[in-house]
Amino acid sequence: MKIKSLIFLGVLQACFLANAQVKTLDPVEYVNPLMGTQSLPNLSNGNTYPAICRPWGMNFWTPQTGKMGDGWAYTYTAEKIRGFKQTHQPSPWMNDYGQFSIMPVTGKLAFTEDERASWFSHKAEVSKPYYYSVYLADYDVTTEITATERAAHFQITFPDNEESSIVIDAFNKGSYIKIIPSENKIIGYTTRNSGGVPENFKNYFVLEFDKPFSTQSTWNDKILEKDKLELNGIHVGAVVGFKTKKGEKVHIKTASSFISIAQAELNLKNELGAATFEETVAASKNEWNKVLGKITVEDTNEDQLKTFYSCLYRTVCFPQKQYEIDAEGKVVHYSPYNGKVLPGYMFAGTGFWDTFRALYPLLNLVYPSINKEMQEGLLNDYKEGGFLPEWSSPGFRNVMVGNNSASVVADAYLKGLRGYDINTLYEALLHGANTEGPMDAVGRKGVNYYNTLGYVPYDVNINENAARTLEYAYDDFTIWKLAKALNRPNKEIKLFEKRMMNYKNLYNPAIGLMSGRNKDGSFPANFNPFKWGDAFTEGNSWHYSWSVFHDVQGLIGLMGGQKAFTAKLDAVFTTPPVFDDSYYGSVIHEIREMQIMNMGQYAHGNQPIQHMIYLYNYAGEPWKTQYWSREVMNRLYKPTPDGYCGDEDNGQTSAWYIFSAMGFYPVCPGTDQYVLGAPLFKKTTLQLENGKQLIINAPDNSAINKYVNELKWNNTAHTKNYINHFEVLEGGELKFDMSSSPNLQRGTAAEAYPYSYSTSK
């Protein structure tokens, strides 16, 4: 009897522990940096790499499995590591700049990338944002890495060996290396880049070792030059050797600079100094917990906790700081626009076409102080480059469409950020909105057509014209909102108020969706809404027709009213994933990702449609938003190497998950509203920078209870389908009463709907 009682008590205790909410006191430990790394050019599950870094740090480090110059630097299915690379790569499609690598070897010297590559296993790999370790099987060596913003600390454990070596690869396309044995030091620079830099671009680096060199050599391409200490060439590197005992640890401290060798040495001194490896690991872990700990989630599902914090980690990686602290303690940067060293902030490594949607709104809510620095960096972009970048890596890059810097600038100011020169930034918006830039993706391609006809025509040899028109119209809305806030001249305000309605010019009643439109006003005959590209950007009409963020009610009117609108939304999920790839000539990875996800035409793996789920709130059927947001979170995100459903894209696809898991989403940046969905967790707490807390409680939340029966804001019934940014900043509690069946009465009245321009007057 006593034994039975003990067994019963044990079962009760196990059940209690299984159902107890996990409070994430150490959030960084839930992060899997390998999430999204099982990707290929023809199928992206994230296209990420494990970044060992600090939040928004200038330099990241990653194990390199791909060939030098390959954008797929680390692929989960790879078998060998070729080196440990300093990287600034925002995307494999953009590739890298400011890169060099370190690789330990033993025995017969191997220094070229193919020869030095070593087998490794994920079973002997530890990957954290603040710490990475892997066993290099061919050399019986364990490499450990931790990082600061501009420096890194390596701890390499060698076997008993007469010929233990460290290979430094400064990469091709122009590099320099110098060994200084008297100081146990190597200095050099790399010039390799993928564009977006002036002719004088260099990334200078310094490495300091805690063990004297017993041998030293430099190498040029495949030729080793023993005892030659300095080399300049197309592709140079260095090798330093030691005699090591079993278990002996060799430490390397390294830093880089876009300014000079002296600045690289200063960065090393300022950020690592005399710190031990363990101290740097602890400091990095603390910084990650501080940043990730701004949002605390509590729940029973550990996989969802891992997914949440792995996504949050990605949202605070890019854009990277491109500024440095000089000898006088002042903020300075190397300009990727004019090649000069200038005062002030600079950031790089993001595409606003992706990140205006949710990443920058997340910064404005949770991390506004870093976005204030980013806004100051945008000022410097404009002053030095003449335009705001739409894709920076590190300077202007000619990719994607739109003029979405307008959204990034306007949303920050309209959400309350202050303390920078908004008037000059507004001038930058005016300039970008009325001028074609030095390349297609800067300023507005086709602006003269857009400003005169009200759209960029389909038949004037401007690619992705309908996408440009829809995005320009939304961007004009954000300029209009900012112009009003800055008390600009009424004529100017009215101009942008008119232009933001240009989206209506592309609605094609014959197909009930947006399409390209010819210069003479006609719609192209037999326009195919399933055709990817052509009039649209990495999508088709089914994806882009919802890109009327600022006037959903106007779009509802075009589509024939609420019932027709929601039926069209439903059809996105029920229409088979057919496609026309003739514009590209092959199936691009974004098409393939839509095709295989079993969600019809819904293509969450790319950005244009990611807000569409939330549009049911504008047409009286919010329970469908609640259903589909949960479906996407559960089906398309996993804390695994194949954990995304397309390119992660510099935090945007992750930011969608973070917002959606909290229960709301910024459908229209530039407004002060978040459109409601349903929270994923039982409890979420936001620690706001002003010291207030937002608590999101959903105690009955579960896999079954995914619908909102009732919502209370600070104990008062909240009947709207949105919440207000400035009310959230005051702190309080959102309490969701969750149910297994939808409440078909809540949120159905017009007064519950979120902002639309057409009904705002």
HEC letters along 262-300: HHHHHHHHHHCCCCCHHHHHHHHHHHHHHHHCCEEEEEC
Give the per-residue pLDDT at 23: 61
In this structure, is residue 79 part of a structural domain?
A: yes
In this structure, is residue 481 part of a structural domain?
A: no
Confirm if 579 and 530 have CB atoms less than 8 A apart. Answer: yes
Query: Mean pLDDT of residues grouped by 10 in the chain (761 residues)?
Result: 41 42 79 98 97 98 95 97 98 97 96 97 98 98 98 98 97 97 98 97 98 97 95 98 98 98 98 98 98 96 97 98 98 98 98 98 98 98 98 97 97 98 98 97 98 98 98 98 98 98 98 98 96 97 98 98 98 98 97 98 97 98 98 98 97 98 98 98 98 98 97 98 98 98 98 97 73
In this structure, is residue 435 part of a structural domain?
A: no
Give the per-residue pLDDT at 24: 56
Q: Give start and end residues of each alpha helix (H) in 575-724.
A: 589-596, 622-636, 652-662
Domain interval for residue 106: 38-293
Pairing outcome for strands 513-514 and 185-190 = unpaired
Distance CA 742, CA 246 (A): 64
Q: If we measure between CA atoms, which residue out of 121, 90, 115, 89 comes closest to residue 103?
A: 115
Give the per-residue pLDDT at 69: 86
Give the per-residue pLDDT at 18: 40
Q: Where are the beta strands (DSSP E) in 98-235?
A: 101-106, 118-119, 125-127, 132-136, 141-147, 151-158, 161-169, 175-180, 185-190, 203-209, 215-220, 223-226, 230-233
Give the per-residue pLDDT at 22: 59
Distance CA 62, CA 45 (A): 18
CB atoms within 10 A of CB 342: 15
CATH of the domain at 171: 2.70.98.10
Which residues face 298 on adjacent strands? Answer: 23, 683
Q: How far is CA 624 from the centre of its chain?
A: 27
Confirm if 508 and 514 have CB atoms less than 8 A apart. Answer: yes
pTM to 2 decimal places: 0.96
Three-class secondary structure of residue 198 per DSSP = coil
Q: Give start and end residues of each alpha helix (H) in 445-600.
A: 447-453, 465-485, 490-499, 541-544, 552-558, 562-574, 589-596
Residues 6+ positions from 744 with CB-CB distance below 8 Å: 623
Give per-residue burial for 678-696: e unless 16+ CB within 10 Å, then b: bbbbbbbbbbbeeeeebeb
Distance CA 239, CA 578 (A): 54
In this structure, is residue 136 part of a structural domain?
A: yes
Give the Å distances, CA to CA, from 745 to 556, 567, 622, 700, 752.
20, 18, 10, 20, 11
Number of domain units in the chain:
1
In this structure, is residue 258 part of a structural domain?
A: yes
Q: Which amino acid, one-letter code, is at 182? A: S
In this structure, is residue 354 part of a structural domain?
A: no
Distance CA 523, CA 564 (A): 22
Give the per-residue pLDDT at 308: 98
In this structure, is residue 107 part of a structural domain?
A: yes
In this structure, is residue 194 part of a structural domain?
A: yes
